[in-house]
Structure 1
Amino acid sequence: MARSLLRRIASAVELDLRWTSARLDSMGAPESYISAIMRDDHHDEPSLRALLSLAGTAVERALDQPLRLLRERGAADSVFVWPGQHYRLLASIVELLKPQTVVEIGTFDGASALALLENLPVTGRLVTFDVVPWSQVGQTLLRAQDLDDGRLTPITGDLCRLEVFEAHAELLRTADLIFLDGPKDGEFEPCLMSRLGTVGIRPGTPLLFDDIRLWNMLEFWHTLDLPKLDVTGFGHFTGTGLALWEEERI
């Protein structure tokens, strides 16, 4: 009897999701995903002020970002949509922070890397991680010459593998900005955050999270115990989160 009841519940949920997907499709948006709305009451006022100040200034500057590197590479028109895509916001935050070391987790086609490079100081460096070598991504926007001046370093490796993480622990510890755009599989992100808590990242270091509104990221973002701010309305339509590192809360 219990098994029969569970089967009926599961069938109802599946039917409801199919109906929801059909409703989304009927709205005619270029992309649509099933997400949820959750209330979050965990705010620490001093940290919130710092987050609001950083986000507010970055948003103000975002519209004027030319994204020259992406235009030169013939990136898709959708890349330049803002708000809706996060590339202008990424470039704006780098312009504002002037970081010497940026770590990106999730290279894929290199679009985000080029946005982060847009305003990176000439003495700065961007290290970008992925499990697939950048040169093997068919639609990559990166070129071999991008590596010539040492500002961009692609690394192939899974940071949730202990040996890979330990090999790059000093890099992560000294990063001035970390952008997490990983697999969103419900495992990698919690694993990485747990490991980051062991290396002594400087308190106040900004972390950017992509796709926080996607279904697999909802619990991760909701339970992330850091000062945080959802800036989706000014970033990626699938969710953009901004947080500040506080080691004692990890």
Structure 2
Amino acid sequence: MSRKTLNLDSTLYDYLISQSLRETPIQSRLREETAALGGPAGMQVSPEQGQFLAFLASLIGAKRVVEVGTFTGYSALSVALALPADGRITCCDVSADWTAIAQRYWEQAGVAGKIELRLAPALETLDALVSEEGVDKVDMAFIDADKERYDGYYEACLTLVRPGGLIAIDNVLWGGAVADPANKSADTEAIRALNAKLKEDRRVDLSLLPIGDGLTLCRKR
């Protein structure tokens, strides 16, 4: 029994991965190629987080998913593998270069038919989805894009997601910066503001988990 979450040093983290990660060879190769990119590789979710998102999608019986921020496609690949044959993910991104890597691996994994990639500012895509599909039609949304627009992404996804559906928001601990009052960067302030808003938002049930860089789960009431 522990009164707070354990700190994970590298030894304990390696044990966690060795005992729980069920990653396909294609997922592993995608992670390796992304890691070789250097600095930008930090935008990819951790493998245990990708598996957790896939687990959540299966748990709620998700068929319709929206992802805001796709990068090289690891999280979308993880979730797509968990979706039924008629499941569908719409991925919002602005980079043709990063998502070209994603598309190669989606094809290799046989899930490209489940994934629709829209290259445009995400708020434009989300507004279009509201017009095309209506409200309360999405089972799950994952937000992992530019932090200053997080609040707008959250509100748009809350419109799209059905009651009982989930919104998962990444990077909500932001490397610990959110707890440092001296850190006034625009990204940090935006995440802080959203965290504070979500704590009081009675439209959702809430849990902030210390997985990856911090993951908030919002269940729409």
> For the superposition of Structure 1 and Structure 2, which TM-score range results when normalised by the shorter chain?
0.5 to 0.7
Q: Kindly indicate which of the two structures has a greater share of residues assigned to helix.
A: 2
Residue 145 (structure 1) aligns with: 107
Residue 57 (structure 2) aligns with: 94
SS of alignment partner, residue 147 of structure 2: coil
**Higher-RCO chain (CA-CA 8 Å, sequence separation at least 6):** 1
Residue 165 (structure 1) aligns with: 126
Residue 175 (structure 1) aligns with: 138
Structure 1 alignment gaps of length 5 or more: 1-28, 31-62
Give distance in 2, aligned partners of 1:64 and 1:125: 26
SS of alignment partner, residue 137 of structure 1: helix
Residue 13 (structure 2) aligns with: none
SS of alignment partner, residue 212 of structure 1: coil
Task: Please tell me whether the aligned partners of residues 99 and 120 of structure 1 are also in contact (alpha carbons under 8 angstroms).
Answer: yes
SS of alignment partner, residue 142 of structure 1: helix
2:150 to 180, 183, 189: 189
Task: Please tell me whether the aligned partners of residues 230 and 239 of structure 1 are also in contact (alpha carbons under 8 angstroms).
Answer: yes
CA 218–81 in structure 1, closer or farther in 2 if over 3 Å, else same:
same
Task: Please tell me whether the aligned partners of residues 136 and 163 of structure 2 are also in contact (alpha carbons under 8 angstroms).
Answer: no
Counterpart residue identity of residue 83, structure 2: L
Residues 1:240 and 2:221 aligned together = no
Residues 1:205 and 2:165 aligned together = yes
Give distance in 2, aligned partners of 1:213 and 1:111: 21
CA 138–99 in structure 1, closer or farther in 2 if over 3 Å, else same:
closer
Give distance in 2, aligned partners of 1:245 and 1:66: 29
Give distance in 2, aligned partners of 1:223 and 1:205: 19
Task: Please tell me whether the aligned partners of residues 135 and 162 of structure 2 are also in contact (alpha carbons under 8 angstroms).
Answer: no
Structure 2 alignment gaps of length 5 or more: 1-8, 11-18, 36-41, 179-187
CA 191–81 in structure 1, closer or farther in 2 if over 3 Å, else same:
closer
Question: CA-to-partner distance for each residue in 1:121-163, whole Å, 9 max, x for gaps?
Answer: 1111111111223xx12883431736875211111122324xx
Count of residues in Structure 1 that have an aligned counterpart in Structure 2: 173
Question: CA-to-partner distance for each residue in 1:62-90, whole Å, 9 max, x for gaps?
Answer: x645121402x3423898966xx511211
TM-aligned CA deviation for residue 230 of structure 1: 0.9
State the identity as a percent.
21
Counterpart residue identity of residue 209, structure 1: I
Task: Please tell me whether the aligned partners of residues 110 and 140 of structure 1 are also in contact (alpha carbons under 8 angstroms).
Answer: yes
Counterpart residue identity of residue 152, structure 1: I
Residues 1:220 and 2:181 aligned together = no
Task: Please tell me whether the aligned partners of residues 177 and 206 of structure 1 are also in contact (alpha carbons under 8 angstroms).
Answer: yes
**TM-score, normalization by structure 2:** 0.66
The structure number with the bigger radius of gyration is 1
